[in-house]
Amino acid sequence: MDFGLVLQTDPPASQVVGLMRRAERNGFRYGWTFDSAVLWQEPFVIYSRILEHTTKLHVGPMVTNPGTRTWEVTASTFATLNDMYGNRTVCGIGRGDSAMRVAGRKPNTLARLGDAIDVIRDLAEGREAIVDGNPIRIPWVKDGKLPVWMAAYGPKALALAGQKADGFILQLADPYLTEWMVKAVRQAATEAGRDPDALTVCVAAPAYVTADDSAEALAHAREQCRWFGGMVGNHVADLVAKYGEHSDLVPEALTAYIKDRHGYDYSHHGRADNPSTDFVPDEIVDRFCLLGPAEAHIEKLRRLRDLGVNQFAVYNMHDAKEATIDAYGSEVIPAVTG
């Protein structure tokens, strides 16, 4: 199992670069960031600095979308970074939540997302692609490589990930839901004539390592990570609107908790002080996140690994960023990968 670190690109960018360098020293192999142009600084500019100051770390957005950047610009940006630093990028992509909604737009359709996956990958790897009805190719790309990993929750999105993407990003760490969704993605890959085992499965969720399992320590960890249930709730609300509150197509274990959700304030998106997450119960925080002493993280990660998860990406938006990176480097990563 590989490990990644996920950050928001809050200023100063030097702090983001420093945390990514710290992550690489501690055995993390991937460095991810949010991509929402209004809320945070431009990630691709910062990727260049991260790549310059690391040696093996792969970087990319978790996640970009096909609506806020034209596809040839996205492909050319990845290809440029790869040409400069040696194929060390990965394109995480989805329909677009905060990036689209903050700008007053709706998330992209799955049809548009599926087309974008093909075009961005083809262009970034030097092949011709059709953009707005015109065949184009980036002529200077040589030996380019860009894996495209798709974020998904609902049945149609999971199917698309299996049909098109090189990897699947699941933004929660509940073993029951992970098993259900990984099975759906791999089945779709098989039905599309693809090798289901060739898809990389990345689970991403907050991790907070406590000194012990006391009630006080766990309560603090939950409050630092409760924002994540609110963020996931945005996607769950879309699923409920599409499929209904009680649908055989979407597990109730995913949808039931948003019944008391009332709106969402994107100005606090992904932050521990998010006031829009009071509807998220402790049970969801415990299921979706990794909390407690290092031993608890190791146990859950081994369960996820046994379900076919290839990477765990740590959402590191809380008050113990450095301590979490160091604890994973000294205790968790060696135990899971050794």
Q: Is 195 exposed, middle or buried (0-12, 13-18, 19+ CB in 10 A)?
A: exposed
pLDDT of residue 246 exceeding 90: no
State the pLDDT at residue 189. 98
What pLDDT does 124 receive?
Answer: 98
- pLDDT, residue 266, reads 84
Q: Report which of residues 80 and 236 the model is more confident about.
A: 80
pLDDT at 134: 96
Q: For residue 133, count CB atoms less than 10 angstroms from its CB and return exposed for 0-12, middle for 13-18, buried for 19 or more.
A: exposed
According to the model, what pLDDT value does residue 136 have? 97
Closest CA to 239 of 153, 177, 315, 305: 153
pLDDT at 234: 84
pLDDT value at position 227?
93
Q: Is the pLDDT of residue 245 over 80?
A: no
Q: Per-residue pLDDT for 178 more than 90? A: yes
Q: Taking residues 156-167, what's their average pLDDT?
A: 98
Residue 269: pLDDT band (50, 70, 90) is: confident
Both structure tokens of 18: 């420093």
Whole-prediction pTM: 0.94
pLDDT at 260 over 90: no
β-partners of residue 129 are: 136
Q: Distances in Å between the alpha carbon of 29 and those of 24, 89, 256?
A: 6, 11, 35
Work out the burial of residue 43: count CB atoms within 10 Å of its CB; fewer than 13 is exposed, 13-18 middle, 19 or more buried: buried
| Cα 152-157-159 angle, rounded to 5 deg | 115
Residue 278 has pLDDT above 90, yes or no: no
Least confident of 19-28, 192-201, 261-270: 261-270
Half-sphere exposure in the Cβ direction for 31 (13 Å, CA): 32
